[in-house]
C-alpha cells in the first residue's frame, strides 16, 4: 500500500501555464497591439458595416479538442475581432451613453486579472476592498455627497439602481420584507416607485421586474416643459395612491437624463420624501458626476440630501466597462438590506484579520476588482484633469446646439444641460413660417421620423460616426451622447456636416411627392 501511495504522489500533473518568458513575449506583443490601436483611434471606422449573420460567420468554428498556439490566438484579435468591433473609444462615438475608456484603465484591467482577487469579501481581497472604500469616498467628495456614506461598485446603472431601490424597499416597508418578501400577510396594497414620465430611465422598470413588483409599480409623474419632474403633480399622485391603500416607498429623480440631460428639482423632491417618509433615490448614472463642475454645481442642489445616488464611471468618467456605482447616505441601511451569514463566508470563529465584506452590501457575492481602474484613473487625471475633460464635453454639446440653431435644416428641441443633446433634421422647404402644416402634419412628421432614422443608419454605415435615434414627445430625434474624453469641436463640426450631407441627399432622393414644398425664404 505504501508503494502505491508513493506512486500517486510522484505522478506528474499537467501544467498548461505559459512560462514567464513566453508570457512576457506575448504580453509585449499584446501591449504593442493595444498601443497601435490607440494610435489610430481617431481614424478607425466607428462601426463595422456588416450584418449580424456576416459577423457570426467569422467566428464559426468547432470546439478545439487540442490546444492552439498562443501567438495564433492573439493574432485573431487583429484579424477577426477589431474589424468587427464598434469602437466606443473613438472621439466620434456618440451612441447610447458609453464612456471612451481611459488608457491607464486598460492597464488596470490586466493587472486586476493577473491577481484575480474576489472583491466580495475582505479576506480574498484585502487591497481591493480598501481601494474600493477609498475610491467611493473620493467619488462622494467629487459630487458633494456626505463623506460618511457607504456604497459599492456594480456592473452598471441597472444593478446600482436595483441595489439602491431594494435597500429603499427594505428600509421603508411596514414589515420585514427581508424575511417575508412580498408574500407576507401583512402586505396591504402595492409597493410603488415614482419617476418622471418623459425622462425616467427604463432601468427603473427593470428594477421593478427584478423586485417582482411588476412594471406597473413604476408610476409616471408628468413633466414640466423643460423635461423635469412636476413636483406638484408628484404630491397629488402620492396622496391619491396612499388614499387607495397603496404603499409609495421611493421617488427616483433623474440627475442628467438620457435624452436631454435634465436634472429634476432635487431639493423639492428631497422635501417631499422627507415629509412623507419616502426614500429619495437619485439616478445619476448619466450625469451625477457633473456636480464636480463649479459652473454646474447649482443644478445639483439637493443631491446631498438623497438617500442613495447612482452614477456610472463607465459613462462620464470614461472608465473601461464595466463599472457602475451606488452611494448610500446611511451605510447601515444598505448592509441591513443585504446582510447574510454562513460559517464558510467568514470562518466559524471571529478573527482580527478581517474588514468590510462587500457581499453584505449588495446582491453579488463574487465580485471583480472594478475599483482599480477608477482608482488609477482618478490618480492619473486628478480632480482638476477630470473637470477639464467634463467641461470640454459640455462645450462640444453647446457648440453642436449653436450649429443646429444656425442651420435652416435642423430643429433644436432643448438647450444642452450637460453632454447629451437631441435634435432633428427638418428641411427648410417643409416648413411654414408658423410651423403649422395643417392636415398634412401627420404625414410630415411620419416622413421626418423616417428621415431622421435613415440619417442615423447612414452615418453609422459610413464609419464616420456612431449616432442613435431616440424619441422626444413621440418624435424620432438624433441623439448625441458626447462623453468621450477624446472628442473635440472639430469632431462635432465634421459630424454635423456629414449629418447635413446625408440628410440633404436622402431628402432630395426619397422625399414623398405628397408633401408640399415651401420657399426656403419663408422658413
What value, to the nearest 5°, has the Cα angle with vertex 380 and ends 375 and 381?
105
C-alpha–C-alpha distance, residues 126 and 267, integer Å: 38
| pLDDT tens-digit map of 347-357 | 766 788 889 99
382-522: CATH number: 3.90.1150.170
C-alpha–C-alpha distance, residues 516 and 110, integer Å: 59
> Are 271 and 277 in contact, with CB atoms under 8 Å apart?
no
Domain ranges in the chain?
A: 118-368, 382-522
C-alpha–C-alpha distance, residues 357 and 123, integer Å: 8
CA neighbor of 344 nearest in space, from 331, 357, 333, 334: 357
Residues 6 or more apart whose CB falls under 8 angstroms from that of 192 comprise 217, 218, 219, 241, 246, 247, 248, 249
Same fold, 118-368 and 382-522: no
Which residues in the chain come in under a pLDDT of 70?
Answer: 1-11, 348-349, 433-440, 518-523
C-alpha–C-alpha distance, residues 291 and 301, integer Å: 9
436622402: which residue's cell?
506
208: DSSP letter: H
pLDDT at residue 523, as a whole number: 38
pLDDT at residue 514, as a whole number: 81
User: To 10 degrees, the CA torsion angle through 69, 73, 75, 80?
Assistant: 150
Number of helices (H), then strands (E), in the chain: 17, 11
464: DSSP letter: S
What value, to the nearest 5°, has the Cα angle with vertex 87 and ends 456 and 487?
75
The continuous run of DSSP H or E covering 191 comes out as: strand 191-196
Query: What CATH number matches the domain at 118-368, 3.30.1490.190, 3.40.640.10, 3.40.50.150, 3.50.50.60?
Result: 3.40.640.10
C-alpha–C-alpha distance, residues 498 and 466, integer Å: 12
pLDDT at residue 313, as a whole number: 98
CA neighbor of 462 nearest in space, from 93, 98, 48, 87: 48
Residues 6 or more apart whose CB falls under 8 angstroms from that of 194 comprise 218, 219, 221, 234, 237, 238, 248, 250, 251, 252
How many Cβ atoms sit within 10 Å of the Cβ of residue 490? 10
Residues 6 or more apart whose CB falls under 8 angstroms from that of 83 comprise 48
Tell me how far CA of residue 251 lies from CA of 262, 281, 360, 364, in angstroms. 16, 6, 24, 25
pLDDT at residue 433, as a whole number: 62
Burial 305-326 (b: 16+ CB within 10 A, else e): bbbbbbbbbbbbbbbbbbbbbb
> Are 425 and 521 in contact, with CB atoms under 8 Å apart?
no
Residues 6 or more apart whose CB falls under 8 angstroms from that of 310 comprise 157, 160, 161, 164, 281, 282, 283, 284, 285, 288, 324, 325, 326, 327
User: To 10 degrees, the CA torsion angle through 429, 435, 441, 443?
Assistant: 30
CA neighbor of 193 nearest in space, from 169, 212, 167: 169
- Is the peptide bond preceding residue 221 cis, with omega within 30 degrees of 0? no
* Partners of 150 in the β-ladder: 328
Q: Is 115 left (phi over 0), alpha (psi -120 to 50) or beta?
A: alpha
What value, to the nearest 5°, has the Cα angle with vertex 458 and ends 454 and 459?
120
pLDDT at residue 522, as a whole number: 42
Amino acid at each position: 500500500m505504501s508503494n502505491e501511495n508513493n506512486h500517486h504522489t510522484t505522478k506528474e500533473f499537467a501544467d498548461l501555464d505559459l512560462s514567464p518568458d513566453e508570457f512576457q513575449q506575448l504580453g509585449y506583443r499584446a501591449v504593442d497591439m493595444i498601443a497601435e490601436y490607440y494610435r489610430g483611434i481617431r481614424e478607425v471606422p466607428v462601426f463595422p458595416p456588416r450584418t449580424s449573420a456576416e459577423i457570426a460567420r467569422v467566428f464559426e468554428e468547432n470546439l478545439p479538442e487540442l490546444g492552439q498556439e498562443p501567438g495564433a490566438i492573439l493574432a485573431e484579435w487583429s484579424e477577426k475581432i477589431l474589424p468587427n468591433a464598434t469602437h466606443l473609444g473613438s472621439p466620434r462615438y456618440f451612441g447610447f451613453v458609453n464612456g471612451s475608456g481611459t488608457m491607464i484603465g486598460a492597464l488596470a484591467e490586466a493587472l486586476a486579472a493577473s491577481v484575480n482577487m474576489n472583491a466580495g469579501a475582505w479576506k480574498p481581497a484585502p487591497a481591493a476592498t480598501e481601494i474600493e472604500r477609498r475610491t467611493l469616498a473620493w467619488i462622494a467628495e467629487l459630487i458633494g455627497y456626505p463623506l460618511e456614506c457607504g456604497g459599492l461598485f456594480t456592473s452598471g446603472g441597472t444593478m446600482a439602481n436595483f441595489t439602491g431601490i431594494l435597500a429603499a424597499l427594505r428600509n421603508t416597508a411596514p414589515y420585514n420584507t427581508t424575511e417575508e418578501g412580498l408574500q407576507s400577510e401583512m402586505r396591504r396594497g402595492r409597493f410603488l416607485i415614482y419617476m418622471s414620465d418623459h425622462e425616467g430611465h427604463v432601468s427603473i422598470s427593470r428594477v421593478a421586474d427584478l423586485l417582482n413588483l411588476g412594471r406597473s409599480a413604476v408610476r409616471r409623474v408628468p413633466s414640466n416643459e423643460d423635461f423635469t419632474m412636476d413636483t406638484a403633480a408628484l404630491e397629488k399622485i402620492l396622496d391619491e395612491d396612499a388614499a387607495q391603500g397603496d404603499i409609495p416607498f421611493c421617488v427616483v429623480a433623474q440627475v442628467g437624463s438620457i435624452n436631454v440631460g435634465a436634472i429634476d428639482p432635487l431639493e423639492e423632491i428631497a422635501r417631499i420624501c422627507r415629509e412623507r417618509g419616502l426614500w429619495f433615490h437619485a439616478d445619476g448614472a448619466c450625469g451625477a458626476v457633473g456636480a464636480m463642475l463649479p459652473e454646474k454645481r447649482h443644478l445639483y442642489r439637493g443631491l446631498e440630501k438623497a438617500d442613495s445616488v447612482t452614477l456610472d464611471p463607465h459613462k462620464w468618467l470614461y472608465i473601461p466597462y464595466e463599472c457602475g456605482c451606488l452611494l448610500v447616505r446611511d451605510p447601515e441601511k444598505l448592509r441591513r438590506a443585504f446582510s447574510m451569514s454562513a460559517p464558510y463566508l467568514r470562518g466559524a470563529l471571529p478573527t482580527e484579520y478581517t474588514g468590510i465584506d462587500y457581499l453584505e452590501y449588495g446582491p453579488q457575492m463574487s465580485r471583480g476588482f472594478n475599483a482599480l481602474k477608477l482608482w488609477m484613473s482618478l490618480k492619473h487625471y486628478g480632480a482638476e484633469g477630470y473637470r477639464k475633460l467634463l467641461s470640454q464635453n459640455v462645450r462640444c454639446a453647446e457648440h453642436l446646439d449653436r450649429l443646429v440653431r444656425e442651420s435652416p435644416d435642423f430643429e433644436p428641441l432643448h438647450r444642452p444641460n450637460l453632454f447629451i443633446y437631441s435634435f432633428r433634421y427638418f428641411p427648410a422647404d417643409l416648413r411654414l413660417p408658423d410651423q403649422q402644416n395643417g392636415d398634412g402634419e401627420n404625414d410630415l412628421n411620419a416622413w421626418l421620423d423616417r428621415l431622421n432614422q435613415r440619417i442615423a443608419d447612414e452615418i453609422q454605415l459610413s464609419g464616420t460616426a456612431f449616432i442613435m435615434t431616440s424619441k422626444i414627445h413621440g418624435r424620432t430625434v438624433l441623439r448625441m451622447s458626447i462623453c468621450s474624453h477624446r472628442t473635440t469641436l472639430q469632431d462635432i463640426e465634421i459630424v454635423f456636416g456629414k449629418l447635413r450631407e446625408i440628410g440633404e441627399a436622402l431628402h432630395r432622393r426619397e422625399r414623398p411627392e405628397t408633401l408640399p414644398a415651401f420657399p426656403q425664404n419663408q422658413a
